[in-house]
């Protein structure tokens, strides 16, 4: 699990007046691809963020402890499938937009899907979200 402390700071600085109180403290789990024990560094596989530098100090990492569904069934996400439209296209339901960033001349938005956890968040270009209620809610704040 990777700490979100730096992303929280960026969020607070970008949106003056906003607090990062409800952002998750850790993202993941991520697969460790390389270890550098002499410097306490670990390289992670970050599938949704290919442009991000993937080597982190051990102080920013925590071991992943999976949920025991028998002991804590309420912590399990439902993970619904896509909605199939009349013409056969699949559409996924957006729960909320968590963050935004500039990429080239446009913006990208970090989307959390309804019923899925933080490990399934994806960066989507603004043009794909142009007619969504989640983007309207994000721009209002």
Q: Give the tens place of pLDDT for each residue, 29-55.
A: 889 999 999 999 999 988 777 788 899
C-alpha 56/C-alpha 62 separation (Å) is 11
**Residue-wise pLDDT tens digits, 76-115:** 666 677 677 778 777 778 888 999 999 888 899 999 888 7
120 has pLDDT over 80: yes
Q: How much of the chain, in percent, has pLDDT values that exceed 90?
A: 24
C-alpha 10/C-alpha 28 separation (Å) is 19
At residue 126, the 3 state secondary structure works out as helix
User: Helices (H), strands (E): how many in the chain?
Assistant: 2, 10
Q: What is the pTM of this model?
A: 0.49
Domains of the chain: 1-65 (no CATH), 90-141 (2.40.50.40)
Q: Is there a contact between 94 and 114 (Cβ–Cβ < 8 Å)?
A: yes
């Amino acid at each position: 699990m990777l700490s979100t402390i730096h992303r929280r700071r960026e969020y607070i600085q970008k949106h003056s007046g906003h607090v990062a109180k409800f952002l998750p403290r850790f993202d993941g789990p991520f697969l460790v691809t390389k270890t550098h024990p002499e410097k306490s560094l670990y390289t992670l596989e970050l599938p949704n963020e290919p442009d991000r530098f993937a080597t982190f100090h051990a102080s920013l990492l925590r071991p992943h402890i999976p949920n025991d569904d028998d002991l804590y069934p309420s912590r399990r996400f439902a993970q619904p499938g896509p909605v199939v439209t009349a013409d056969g296209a699949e559409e996924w339901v957006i729960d909320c937009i968590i963050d935004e960033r500039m990429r080239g001349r446009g913006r990208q938005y970090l989307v959390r899907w309804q019923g899925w956890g933080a490990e399934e968040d994806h960066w989507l270009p603004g043009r794909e979200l142009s007619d969504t209620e989640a983007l309207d809610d994000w721009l209002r704040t």
